[in-house]
Amino acid sequence: MAIAVFFFFAALAIVGGVGVVTLHQPIRSVLSLVVVMLSLSVMFLLLSAQFVFAVQIIVYAGAVMVLFLFVIALLGPARELGRGRLRFQTSLSILFVLALFGLMYALIQGIQYRQPEHADLSFFGTVQSIAVGLFTTYLYPFELTSILLLVAAIGAIYLSRKRIDDL
Amino acid sequence: MSTLSIGGQQLDASWFLLLSAILFVLGAVGVLVRRNPLVILISIELMLNAANLALVTFSRQLQNIEGQLFALMSMTVAAAEAVVGLAILVDIFRARDVEDVDDLSELRG
């Protein structure tokens, strides 16, 4: 069952990823990305990361994607020109990316896995275990991310304000 | 060693890593090939998601929660990146219609 679920959602994620890159309307790219994110959330569930699964659906597939849809609705359907100014950009980048994939494939084949630490799998990935990590060992990084979010919010408000010379 | 026992079945950790690599590569293609700045941002989100999958996979393989914590942090960074990137994009689009990122190559807007 787990293997079937893995391959179904892996195929769905790859189809969605291809859709993000190839579809010409930006709104279709965003909806393909939602497909990818929901498939990845199932992957997180398979990897017993329940809390990351919930956050993936709420924050990513929910908030971030709605933000993208909102901006597309605001800007209108932007068409895309067929080609850029650089003549060989498409072929060169596909070549480069294939080389990158070959490198990553070789890395994945050569990984020396360490022995697992034999944690309690019924406890692993629950909200409780995440909270123990976030509020003890990683308290300072956790607090720093709240500052990062504050800075991002202030920056977004500053960038989207009405200019005085526009009035 | 690299097999993960999930729901009574053996799944290999490298399958998840391979899926992560494929999605990352697709995102890289999107960043390099597409011309629309909005689609480039979407492709960056795809790459960040692929990296998260690798982090959670290693977290499960080592049965160490720190990988999941790092994935949560990287989700926060991705959200902040999307907010600021989209705000910059809206600001640029207010001044003019951009169909190609290369239209923005001059220093003075």
Q: What is the pLDDT of residues B56-95, one digit of tens each?
A: 999 999 888 999 999 999 999 999 999 999 998 888 888 7
Q: Is residue A131 part of a domain?
A: yes
Domain count, chain A: 2
Q: Is residue A84 part of a domain?
A: no
Instruction: Using an 8 Å CB-CB cutoff, list chain B residues near A30.
Output: 42
pLDDT (average), residues A27-53: 93
Q: Which of residues 52-71 of B touch A (CB under 8 A)?
A: 52-53, 56-57, 59-66, 68-69, 71
Q: Is residue A86 part of a domain?
A: no
The predicted pLDDT at position A152 comes to: 94
Q: Is residue A19 part of a domain?
A: yes
Q: Which of A26, A50, A79 is the last residue of a domain?
A: A79
- Same domain assignment for residues A4 and A72: yes
Contact B91 A160 (CB under 8 A): yes
DSSP summary character for residue A25? S
CB of A58 within 8 Å of any CB in chain B? no
Cα radius of gyration (chain A): 21
Q: Do residues A48 and A78 touch, judged by C-beta distance below 8 A?
A: no
Q: Which of A47, A79, A111 is the last residue of a domain?
A: A79
DSSP summary character for residue B107? S
pTM comes to 0.90
Q: Which residue of B has its CA nearest to A151?
A: B80
CB of A154 within 8 Å of any CB in chain B? no
pLDDT tens digits, A97-152: 999 999 999 999 988 888 777 767 778 888 999 999 999 999 999 999 999 999 99
For residue B79, the distance in angstroms to the closest alpha carbon of chain A comes to: 6
Q: Is residue A153 part of a domain?
A: yes
Q: Residue A110 phi/psi, 5° resolution?
A: -95, 10
Contact B65 A130 (CB under 8 A): yes
- Same domain assignment for residues A71 and A127: no
pLDDT (average), residues A2-17: 94
> Is a pLDDT exceeding 70 seen at residue A165?
no
Q: Which of residues 27-46 of B touch A (CB under 8 A)?
A: 27-30, 32-36, 38-39, 41-43, 45-46
- Same domain assignment for residues A9 and A70: yes
Six-digit token string for B41: 């941002």
- Same domain assignment for residues A3 and A61: yes
The predicted pLDDT at position A84 comes to: 60
The predicted pLDDT at position A43 comes to: 94
Range of lowest pLDDT (A2-6, B2-6, B58-62, B81-85)? B2-6
Q: The complex's ipTM?
A: 0.90
Parent domain of A29: 1-79
Q: Which of A25, A51, A79 is the last residue of a domain?
A: A79
CB of A165 within 8 Å of any CB in chain B? no
Average pLDDT score over chain A? 88
CATH number of the structural domain spanning residue A65: 1.20.120.1200
Average pLDDT score over chain B? 88
Q: Is residue A53 part of a domain?
A: yes
CB of B104 within 8 Å of any CB in chain A? no
Q: Is the dihedral of CA A45, A50, A51, A55 positive or negative?
A: positive
The predicted pLDDT at position B107 comes to: 66
Instruction: Using an 8 Å CB-CB cutoff, list chain A residues near B21.
Output: 101, 104-105, 108
B11 SS3 class: strand
- Same domain assignment for residues A135 and A65: no
Locus of tokens 């960040």: B48
- Same domain assignment for residues A133 and A66: no
Domains belonging to chain B, first-starting first, are 3-101 (1.10.287.3510)
